[in-house]
């Protein structure tokens, strides 16, 4: 005895929002790991459009921009991610390091001092 799943002509299965987000995360990660940072940004930007305040999507887009040496864009997305979830200490440190490499050491130190006061 066996079961066969057949397709019925004219019937399509629609991708749920959760499935689409998961697919975009995976496809973006695959592109990122293969060095296709622009492709990763495209996938994660689609994800961001579905969940505009998701701090992880914003952080990952920033990471990809940093890999493409687009430091201002990376900082912009890191800022958006931290605004969505200020408790990301590791990202705050990464952002401070980025600011330092951009020659903005006073701003870097100030942001770290702010985090040290907020999250002792």
What tens digit of pLDDT does each residue of 63-120 get? 999 999 999 999 999 999 999 999 999 999 999 999 999 999 998 898 888 878 877 7
Percent of the chain scoring above 90 in pLDDT:
72
Stated pTM of the model: 0.83
Neighbours of 71 (CB within 10 A): 16
Q: Which among 44, 102, 48 is positioned nearest to 72, based on CA atoms?
A: 102
Average pLDDT over residues 35-48: 98
Q: Please state, in angstroms and rounded to a whole number, the distance separating the CA atoms of residues 26 and 23.
A: 5
Q: Residues 61, 49: contact at Cβ < 8 Å?
A: no
**With bands split at pLDDT 50, 70 and 90, how would you rate the model's confidence at 1?**
low
């Amino acid at each position: 005895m066996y079961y066969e799943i057949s397709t019925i002509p004219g019937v399509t299965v629609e991708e749920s929002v959760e499935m689409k987000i998961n697919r975009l995360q995976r496809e973006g990660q695959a592109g990122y790991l293969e060095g296709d940072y622009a492709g990763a940004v495209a996938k994660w930007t689609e994800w961001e459009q579905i969940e505009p305040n998701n701090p992880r999507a914003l952080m990952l887009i920033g990471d990809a921009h940093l890999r493409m040496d687009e430091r201002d864009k990376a900082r912009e997305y890191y800022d958006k991610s931290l605004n969505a979830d200020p408790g990301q200490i590791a990202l705050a440190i990464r952002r401070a390091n980025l600011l330092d490499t951009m020659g903005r050491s006073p701003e870097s130190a100030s942001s770290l001092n702010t985090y040290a006061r907020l999250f002792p």
